[in-house]
Every structure is written in C-alpha cells, then in structure tokens.
C-alpha cells in the first residue's frame, strides 16, 4: 500500500519535472491534429502522428529526417507504424527526460555541439542516443 503510494508520488513528480517539454510536444501535437494528425495514449506517453508532424519530422537535420521525436511524455511520429517501430527507443528518451527534466534539451544539444566541435557525429555519438540505441536492443526501458 505504502509502496504504491510512493510509486504514484514518484510518477507525479517525474511527470511534473518533464512537463515543460511535454507541453511543447502537446502543442506541436495539437497543430498536427488541426492538420489531419491523430493522437493515442500508450502507457504514460501521449503519441501524436500525421498532419504537420510528418512534414516537420521529415525536415529534422539528420539523415533523411526523423521517424519520431520525444518531448517529455509526448512522442511525435510521422506515422503509426513509425511510432510502433521506434517505441522502445523513444521510451528510453522518456526515461531520460524523467531524469533530466527541464535540463534535457540543453544537455542533449550541448553534447551535440561539443561532439560537432570535436569532429564527431552530433547524433550518432551523442551519449543520450547511444544509451537509447543500447537499451532498446536490450528491451529494458
Ligand atoms: Zn533517439
């Protein structure tokens, strides 16, 4: 009983901690919804796909654009199939937002900039991506 209460409080705190980025994701998701996109909830994550989101993700400056992108407890995907295929990876990013909260995007972009300045790949060498790719293969997130 007490441990259920503690888990609920912890979940509330991590959702609150990541909420600024979640709200940005919901805003983009609503724009997607106004342009023909859809939303679904999977566990503690709101997933948005289609509409302007597909257009936006296809222009993310990594090879060929992004299939999906996590913002707090919201995940933006080009299609439902993309959300299904990338869910394990994106859930690792959700856990990273739960640890880093408001500081996740500055930390992620700071790592990317540092790597780029040192001649490394700002995406593939980024420790947040390396953790996500490593843990999605383990199936533990
Ligand atoms: Zn990733």
- Going from the Cα of 76 to the center of ligand 1, the distance in angstroms, rounded, reads 12
| Confidence (pLDDT) at 139 | 57
Single out the residue of 89, 42, 51 nearest to residue 70, CA to CA: 89
- Going from the Cα of 97 to the center of ligand 1, the distance in angstroms, rounded, reads 12
pLDDT beyond 90 at 105? yes
Query: Confidence band (pLDDT; 50, 70, 90) for 141?
Result: very low
Strands (E), 43-105: 45-49, 68-71, 74-77
C-alpha to C-alpha distance for 19 and 16, rounded to whole angstroms: 5
C-alpha to C-alpha distance for 54 and 14, rounded to whole angstroms: 28
Q: Render pLDDT for 73-94 as a digit per residue (tens, 0 to 9).
A: 999 999 999 999 999 999 999 9
| Confidence (pLDDT) at 26 | 97
Q: How many distinct structural domains can be found in the chain?
A: 1
What sign results for the dihedral spanned by CA atoms 54, 55, 56, 58? Answer: positive
C-alpha to C-alpha distance for 11 and 30, rounded to whole angstroms: 24
Region 102-115: what's the mean pLDDT? 97
Instruction: Tell me which residue range forms the domain holding 91.
Output: 2-138
- Going from the Cα of 6 to the center of ligand 1, the distance in angstroms, rounded, reads 29
- Going from the Cα of 78 to the center of ligand 1, the distance in angstroms, rounded, reads 14
- Going from the Cα of 77 to the center of ligand 1, the distance in angstroms, rounded, reads 12
Q: Render pLDDT for 33-50 as a digit per residue (tens, 0 to 9).
A: 999 999 999 999 999 999
DSSP conformational letter for 67: S
User: What pairs with residue 117 in β-bridges?
Assistant: none
Region 4-15: what's the mean pLDDT? 92
- Is the pTM higher than 0.85? The answer reads yes
Q: SS3 of 52, please?
A: helix
């Amino acid at each position: 009983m007490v441990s259920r209460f503690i888990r609920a409080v912890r979940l509330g705190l991590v959702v609150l901690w990541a909420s600024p980025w979640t709200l940005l994701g919901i805003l983009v998701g609503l724009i997607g919804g106004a342009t023909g996109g859809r939303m679904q909830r999977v566990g503690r994550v709101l997933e948005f796909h289609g509409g302007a989101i597909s257009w936006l993700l296809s222009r993310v400056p990594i090879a060929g654009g992004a299939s999906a992108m996590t913002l707090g407890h919201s995940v933006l995907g080009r299609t439902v199939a993309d959300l299904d295929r990338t869910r394990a990876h994106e859930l690792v990013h959700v856990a990273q937002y739960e640890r880093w909260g408001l500081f996740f995007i500055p930390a992620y972009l700071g790592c990317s900039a540092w790597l780029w300045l040192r001649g490394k790949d700002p995406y593939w060498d980024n420790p947040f991506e390396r953790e996500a790719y490593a843990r999605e293969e383990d199936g533990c997130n």
